[in-house]
Amino acid sequence: MAELLRRLTDTWREIASLSWPIAVQQLLNTLMRSVDVVVTGVFSPAAVAAIGLADLYAQIPFRIGRALGTGAIAISSQDTASGAIESRDQAVTQAMLIGVLVGLPIVLVGVTVTDVLIEVLGADRDVVRMAAQYLSILFVVAPLRIVAIVGARALQGTGDTRTPMIVNGLANALNIVATVGLGLGLWGLPRLGIVGVGAATAISRGFEALSIVGLFVSDRIDLSLVRPTNPVVTRQLFTVGLPNFAEGMSTSLASFPFNAILLVFGTEVNAAYHVGRRIYQQLAGPLYRSYSVAASILVGKSLGSGEPVEARFVGGAVSALSVLTVGLVGVSLVAAAGPLSAVFTDDPETLRYAVAFTRISGVSMLFFGLFFPLAGALQGAGDTRTPFYARFTGTMVFMLGASYLVGIRLGYGLPGIYAGIVLTYAWWALVACVGFLWGDWAEGATRMMDARR
């Protein structure tokens, strides 16, 4: 027992060393988005709803970047540990190039039909106008967003979590300052409202992407851009990335009908949901996302070193630490839901519903604390299908199916929606546990590494 505790403590120290820069990076990311919501909340509840609806579509380039980045971090961590540097650099270069190519059609959509995309959600005319303006700006910089995500996750795969933190931190600081200045018209800047909030995001994304690319073409990091020549790496990027993209998009796409369900109860309920979502992402997101990335890195390194038993131990250790810490944040969300919600809105009706959504999020944090590190561990091995199955089935059956059936068809109203949300995240955690404990992900990672050699 003493040996097990020592081993667990040593692993937790390594997790902390890797994850704290990621947590800071995620904290700044969510802080930036929270500032966006706070600034738009000064305008009106309709402006908050507009940001929330536009973000449903703005997740598409983010999901693409995360999918390609998941492939990059899996191969980067495995090949760094095994010394296959050429294969690693091939994967990173190809992931970034694919990201640019996929991002170009999104730019075209951004300058043509964003108003149509918002209209189909059934929002009010004023919400459609503001959301379309904001979304157009974000879509124009989509390729830059994708490149920045891929580059940062590739660096994290090598064990360097501090460099992405510094670059992302500077970009988010720029974003926050520009959002306040351009959104509210402070410091001699024009008051552009929601357009200013979008412009601030575009400026920061451009800075972040250029900084990441600059690092890759310099000699300051242990990664290089190379001429892409290895089709096996290309195939594995798609093999790992496509299920991860489908996983993220299953949640994002389900958000459209789910927001339509919420809009049945009014704009204030929809705005309150986005406030509650922003609160838990701000306070708990940095933790569970950092644990997910740390699990990917450590599991990938263990597998790259030929130690599958260690990989399983590390995945379990990260999950245990995540449940303890993220669970504590969940308790805090339940206890302080009122004051936290009041930071984002002073509209009485919106505030009342936001408190309820925040408490539901707090209850769900136990399941978040379990799902995300286990999903990260599986992704570090290249198994992105199990997390996809978890999120797709849970989201379709509970987030949409149960919420609609119980909340609307059976007439239970918002309590039915709350139950659907909690059941969704519980199912995610259950499926991830089954996949981690009994899946063949370690053997699959070995087969992929052999194919790259």
From CA 331, how far away is CA 335, in angstroms rounded? 6
From CA 389, how far away is CA 170, in angstroms rounded? 36
Q: How many domains does the chain have?
A: 1
Tell me the pLDDT tens digit for each residue of 10-54.
788 888 888 888 888 877 777 777 777 778 777 777 777 788 788
Q: Among 297, 299, 293, 324, which Cα is nearest to 312's?
A: 299
What was the pLDDT predicted at 326? 94
Q: Is residue 294 part of a domain?
A: yes
What was the pLDDT predicted at 362? 94
- Which structural domain range is residue 115 located in? 19-452
Is the pLDDT at 214 greater than 70, yes or no? yes
What was the pLDDT predicted at 1? 67
Is the pLDDT at 429 greater than 80, yes or no? yes
Is the pLDDT at 213 greater than 70, yes or no? yes
Question: Which of 299-308, 322-331, 336-345 holds the top average pLDDT?
Answer: 322-331
Average pLDDT over the chain, rounded to an integer: 86
Q: Is residue 3 part of a domain?
A: no
Question: In which band, very low, low, confident or very high, does the pLDDT at 325 lie, cut at 50, 70 and 90?
Answer: very high
Once rounded to an integer, what is the mean pLDDT over residues 161-182? 88
Q: Is residue 2 part of a domain?
A: no
Q: Among 169, 206, 183, 207, which Cα is nearest to 35's?
A: 183
Across 180-215, b (16+ Cβ under 10 Å) vs e yields bbbbbeeeeeeebbbbbbbbbbbbbbbbbbebbbeb
Tell me the pLDDT tens digit for each residue of 388-420.
999 999 999 999 999 999 989 888 889 999 999
Determine if residue 306 is left, alpha or beta; phi over 0 gives left, psi from -120 to 50 gives alpha, anything else beta. left
Q: Is residue 10 part of a domain?
A: no
Q: Is residue 5 part of a domain?
A: no
pTM across the whole model: 0.84
Q: Is residue 283 part of a domain?
A: yes
Both tokens assigned to 398: 């509970």
What was the pLDDT predicted at 376? 93
Is the pLDDT at 337 greater than 80, yes or no? yes
Three-class secondary structure of residue 158 per DSSP: coil
Q: Is residue 75 part of a domain?
A: yes
Helix (H) or strand (E) holding 209: helix 194-217
Is the pLDDT at 72 greater than 90, yes or no? no
**Rounded to 5 degrees, what are φ and ψ at 344?**
-100, -20
Is the pLDDT at 291 greater than 70, yes or no? yes
Between 132-136, 182-186, 380-384, the lowest mean confidence (pLDDT) is in 182-186
**Which residue, chain included where needed, has tokens 């503001």?**
130
Are the beta carbons of 355 and 335 closer than 8 angstroms? no
What was the pLDDT predicted at 148? 92
What was the pLDDT predicted at 422? 94
Once rounded to an integer, what is the mean pLDDT over residues 258-276? 86
From CA 78, how far away is CA 379, in angstroms rounded? 11
What was the pLDDT predicted at 232? 85
Q: Is residue 14 part of a domain?
A: no
Are the beta carbons of 395 and 247 closer than 8 angstroms? no
Question: In which band, very low, low, confident or very high, does the pLDDT at 370 lie, cut at 50, 70 and 90?
Answer: very high
What was the pLDDT predicted at 155? 86
What was the pLDDT predicted at 17? 86
Per the model's pLDDT, the better-predicted residue between 242 and 5 turns out to be 242
